[in-house]
Structure 1
Amino acid sequence: MKDGFLKAAAFSPALRVADCTYNAQQILEQLQAAAQRGVKLAVFPEFCLTGYTCGDLFLQRTLQQGALDALEWLLAQTRTLDTVALVGLPLLVHGKLYNCAAVLCRGQLLGIVPKTYLPNYGEFYEKRQFTPGSTEVQTVTVCGQQVLFGTSLLFRCRQMPSFVLGVELCEDLWSALPPSTFHALAGATVIANLSASDETVGKAEYRRALVANQSARLLCGYLYASAGHGESTTDMVFAGHDLIAEDGSILAETAPFAGDHAETELDCQRMEVERARNTSFEPSAEGYVTVEFDLAPEETVLTRRIDPAPFVPGDPQRRAARCELILKMQADGLAKRLEHARAKTAVIGISGGLDSCLALLVAVRAMKQLHRPAADVLAVTMPCFGTTKRTRSNAEILCGELGVSFQEIRIANTVRSHFADIGQDEKVLDVTFENGQARVRTLELMDLANRTGGLVVGTGDLSELALGWATYNGDHMSMYGVNAGVPKTLVRYLVQYEAETAATAALHDVLLDILATPVSPELLPAKDGEIAQITEDLVGPYELHDFYLYYVLRCGFGPAKIYRLAKAAFAGRAEYTDAVLYKWLRNFYWRFFAQQFKRSCLPDGPKVGSVTLSPRGDWRMPSDACATLWLAELEQLKPGEQ
């Protein structure tokens, strides 16, 4: 439960139709085992105490009483279980029969939620036996307990206020306006659906999409527990297709007919963050009653996969499609800017590194989109003190294969003249030595763009902007920054994708060699012809920084939770000890706050994903904000002192 994590499970126990005693025993066995695994929310199917396929037997008082007896027995048997459980049963209230979900915890009935929408088409005929539930909440007596009854009920955990449970049943989700919509607007962060969805061809895919989309629309966790083996097969079969989704993603699922259960951890805290930032999500709790309950606070062991590369799809096909889409977005943004500015050229400083390579590939695509020759792209290499033969050669080969105009400007003399102007000793390899070169490069590009009637295309990426790894008014500045929304981990895959689809073998080979070249600004003198300045040795591994960046900006999590997630995501990686993860997380926060002034005046550039640092778009932050609170929280987490 720490950090907002809730261990939850959806079950489809094998049952016997109308055998309430047997069914309750099956439920209890699974519930007890789940509680031992730390499950705090357990959802069972619709009518799991009786079976969904009882037909007109539901109208028999014997079956109704049998379900109540089974529920009372379950309440007695679960007094010591620290788990909220939901079970389905028929319930007679004021002479009418309802299809209900009973919510129980530690032997207490927290509430009973009736089904709102009763299907009466195709193979379903629930209106024959049941009455739709009402939003009006009333008090009824069930199993000797006074309990609230109605659809407008929510259940909140006192020890974990971000866990607010709403309940609906099967058809409710499939309706045009599901009750869960209102539950979420009233504050529910988790929706439980007790279902008895029979299986037909194609239905599993539709069901999966329905659950995922509802969790995305409502910014919630969604558990769907469906009836399985043991239901009558007179006219239907039930596959026990259980699903758990969170904010549009399926986290856990049982394959139809697998006879298993779905179990994972929901991040209730994330749901609160998502809703706080979404101004279209307008709370409305009118008519709702919230029942509070207690669970013993404990740290939830994470079993859900924490992706170490949240910006990069793991599936090769999805990744290729994502790369193609991003390249099209970047190219279209640049094409529009070139067209609007009537630019005769797109001027790019090409270093032989990844970022400038990607910018060049995008520029060539933009010219093609505008039906202009690739030669309208002017690629400029500006060798100086740190340039190596490898990067210089790769830059020239790349430009030749792409058919762009290529120019070399040796800037060493200009830099030396500049150093003389300001009194900088060339032998002092300090920040002035480095930034002086970067600013001269930008000067050359800007003036060359003026001379050729063009505009300068920026090459810096999202990760560099987050860390401030750019020279202010040097490579920090351009007339359009095509890579500004692309994190470094994704830059690699975009270039790799272009290599895999390259028109020539030479282009394929040079792109792969650029990928294999260490990331470096090449601002310090080379050693024995090799790159002397490795960026990741100085600022840290980009895969860690991109991971931190995602959870800081996209999820709004604090340092403690991000550190915990990082340990889970990179577990098993020997190079990423707790101390290493901590060191670079602290470095990330320090740099992120200290370097905001560079992001406050960024050039225009296209947003391509959900995380961006444009001061005009998604990220507005004062340049003089203090990192004190974040660093203080991190100070409590030093490895060995936890």
Structure 2
Amino acid sequence: MGHLVTIATCNLNQWALDFIGNQQRILESIRQSKLRGARLRVGPELEVCGYGCLDHFLEGDTDMHCWESLSEIIQHPDCQDILLDIGMPVKHKDVRYNCRLICYNKEILLIRPKLYLANDGNYYEMRYFTPWKGARVVENFYLPRSITKIMGQKKVPIGDALISTLDTCVGVETCEELFTPNAPHIAMGLDGCEVFTNSSGSHHELRKLHTRVELIVSATLKSGGIYMQQGCDGDRLYYDGCCMIIVNGKIVGYVAPLHSICQFSLNDVEVVTATIDLEEVRSYREQKSRAMQARDQPKYERVEVDMSLSREGDGIDLHLRPTRPKEVSYYLPEEEIAYGPACYLWDYLRRAKQAGFFLPLSGGIDSCATALIVHSMTHLVLEAIQSGKNPQVLQDLHRICGEEENSIWKPKTPQEICNKIFCTAYMAMEKHSSSLTRQRAANLAEAIGAHHLEYAIDSVYDAQVALLQSTTGYEAKFKMYGGTKVSNLALQNIQARLRMVNAYTLAQLLPQIRGRREGAPGSLLVLGSANVDESLRGYLTKYDCSSADINPIGGISKTDLKRFIQWASKPETFGLSLLQKFLDAPPTAELEPITDTYIQSDEADMGMTYNELSVYGRLRKIHKLGPWGMWEELGRLWGDKLSPQQIYEKVRFFHWNYAINRHKQTTITPAYHMEAYGVDDNRFDMRPFLYPSFEWAYRKIERAITAMGEAGTKVAGKEDQQ
């Protein structure tokens, strides 16, 4: 029998600045790791404060609270006799680094700063952190006095070093470093490192997970080793889970609900453990070419720790066996849409402490898809409650629904949950909407259990138009009645903005109207339903019903939404056969009068199809092409159907619309990120929009005031100020 080692990695649903909650989840993950026999536990990137702190990273309070929380963690009785890899920011010589802190038995062994920072797309790490000085550079870090006072430790190595246990060598990477061409694990492995940890803050994006998995697999296929990787939760992004343990290119550990790696979960803490054999790594590395490169590899400084990851000092356990490799499968994109935004919505709802969601349900594809995501959420909530493994879900549901603390209510169907927390309304004008869209909306609401209203806005629209005419003397008309393009658009926008005003009114009052318990806090969060393609084109009214509290589909293309709805209609998924009518119906905003010969069409209004928009979006953002580059590339893609002139006209028309409507993105509803060509604008004051209570800081202030005694509640007089 070889050197058997049990190691643990975890998904933690961390929340920016929630120091108390984050600490509790860290401690619980360590408890679970030890119960499963693990000697090494790895946590998420920046787990102590949360990855999504954004500009709060620049505040001294954040650094201070991180050290305070860490000191409590490593002193905790449950955190002894296990090697801990914990993430938090650290300032060294007045420079802030994104760090991993390796701790054992109340001692910090090593602070390992991140060498390469994520600084594109959704990530702005260079705004808050500085990359470390270089590979194998190590210095002394002098611990804060408060930590020294508690722990007695004055200094610790900081830099790119390895941890040497009595039986193996452990190296540390952090997220982005894995994605770099010359990743640190290459040199670490050549210098004898056998166990690699990687703490990730990688966000969920459609069709992305396999890339991450393949990178880790290839890392260990090339030079052998044991690789641990995982993710966490955050702000506009959903940091999907998928913590894994991989040995020599084979996945031996991951959470696997149903048939896929666990990307999405309502659990706050998920721990994955695996038992691996160090001798397998050593045997795998018996290659002459590797040996020649390893011989010449510059050495790393090693920090020694008097402990073993393997269990031979405790005697041989005949029942302990290496964990067998597992086959990996991935969610379909349609399933990612069903589960990712659903988990995000549940997290957002329970943390915002509101009473549920409100959605203007139009009978079209976009609002249909948004409603289905809420329906998916209620399925996940019901499954969690029925499993009994996560009592927090039922507690959160009781609070959201305004139930009494001792309530024994337990839902039996997703529809029962939906009826309590999800309200929809068909808001339209009688003369501009069809009975078909009205009926589709009502049928869908009934099928998923939503509390549904039909809310005609004709009277307020007529009043607004009459006010305009009486004040200005101008009679605005639709184009079909002889009006101009400007007046035609203005009349549509009146309707669109009236929907937004009424949506917020209903969201605020419906819980009370429906008899919500006196004293139970919370209104409804308004959901937006503008897809990423419409946002890219600017095909929405500023401050219309696309303006909302959160938009679950704001990062999803129309093409993928249609596939999602088709998937949801199947008997083996949600079995909603009525969804086919949504797919068959032409997309329409229903803001112009309907006649026997005319029904407003979205694609006709936009001057381009949704499929074309998806192509424009990917070329603009992902391939980073301007008008010229886009025209060249589309010549290759569409040259068999369109002339260069026709392609040029399309490219020019797209960029003209994109440019004149870009201002709308500065006020667009925060959207769940899902598509790599998303248009969410979030540039200057980069702070989260969903906050926890600042309880940690409050408690610290209260302790300080208490320590002041009488002076803590006394107004200082002149004699006190001298």
Give TM-score scaled by structure 2 length. Answer: 0.40
Q: Which has the higher contact order (CA 8 A, sep 6+)?
A: 2
Larger radius of gyration: 1
Give TM-score scaled by structure 1 length. Answer: 0.45
